[in-house]
Amino acid sequence: MGLLAAFVGYASSFAIVLSGLTAAGASNQQAAVGLFFATLGMGVCSVWLALATRTPAAVAWSTPGAAFLASTQVLPGGFAEASGAFILCAGLIIVTGFVPVLSRLVAAIPKQVASALLAGVLLNLCFAPALSLGTIPMLVLPIMVCWLLGLIWNKLAAMPFAVIAFIIVLLFVVDAESAATEVLPSGVQMLSPLTPLFTFQALISISLPLYLVTMAGQNIPGFTLLELNEYSVDRPALMKRTGLVSLFIAPFGAITVNMSAITAAMMCGDDAGRDPSKRYWAAATSGVVYIALAFASGTITQVASQAPAGLITAVAGLALIPALVASISTAFSKSQQLEAPALTFLIAASGMTLFGISGAFWGVVAGVIIWSLKRIRPQS
């Protein structure tokens, strides 16, 4: 189950991470290094948490965070400024572990508003399969068909099927000699971090929204899933550890790592062993697999960079459709409070900026204000 969870977790989201890093201004080499350290951090943290807590505490990179990056404009300082934003986000997660009131403040954001933020962040990337189908139909259609077949058979098989189809398509369209060129720098270069650039604009436009979607979309559901399966969860300790690992990998352009709900669900069930007290070995095994997959980051990034424009984002968009559907359903689940999530969703999805600050931040502000006002003065 650990092997399967790692494969599903990686195959369903590596394209999203690459899209996010590239959209944030990373070159092919920087994206390869960022993917390497994000995968390595995910693996190390998975092993660490599983063995330290004796629970199937699954770890993933911030998939909604990567989708958010893919929907934003490149910062004036380029990828160095984005790296600084990743460091600040990791710092916020660590501080949350030491100051639980911050976690309660995030949890106090209405679930509908938080879900609307996530839906707005995901929307533009979810357009990619349809847009690419209109421009490169013969390449995208086989991937979509395989995704649908996998979805009909088992929803966890949808993205692995799509990735296999993606690889087969690439065999026909990518120059094998060019794709074989190694993109990952040498060991010395790889261990040389970027010189991060810290700005107030990056803090508000990137770090804070990345922190919010990571907490609301990943950490809180991950904690809740473990608790529902009757595992003891020390939330502050887990946030400190995932934040610490995120802080170490952020200078290399790696996205935040956090708790996972999807892969944790796979490793909390009977398929991971009849004895619940031993299921943590599945999480530890998934971590070992992630560490091994990290060393394929250079090849994966190089092959992806050789793919026709729009193909990699189409795969990423397919992976996010279930999350988009779930977040929209939750956002508009309360009929008395539709305006707040609607405005949050529209502002976050619009790609607008105000005073140099991204729409994701303003969407949350507008949603919380409207939600609070309607609670003070409910309409009949």
pLDDT above 70 as % of the chain: 93
In a domain, 338, yes or no: no
In a domain, 376, yes or no: no
In a domain, 172, yes or no: yes
In a domain, 252, yes or no: yes
Flag whether pLDDT at 107 surpasses 80. no
Averaged pLDDT for residues 295-308 = 79
In a domain, 352, yes or no: no
In a domain, 365, yes or no: no
In a domain, 377, yes or no: no
Neighbours of 354 (CB within 10 A): 10
Residue 186 is predicted with a pLDDT of 45
**Cα-Cα-Cα-Cα dihedral sign, residues 339, 342, 344, 347:** negative
In a domain, 17, yes or no: yes
57, 264 Cβ separation under 8 angstroms: yes
Q: How confident is the model at residue 379 (pLDDT cuts 50, 70, 90)?
A: low
Question: Would the pTM of this model clear 0.85, i.e. be above it?
Answer: no
Structural domain for 99, as ranges: 2-333
Q: What is the pLDDT of residues 190-199, one digit of tens each?
A: 566 788 899 9
DSSP-assigned letter for residue 54: S
Tokens 């008395």 belong to 336
Structural domains of the chain, count: 1
142 exposure class (CB count in 10 Å sphere: 0-12, 13-18, 19+): middle
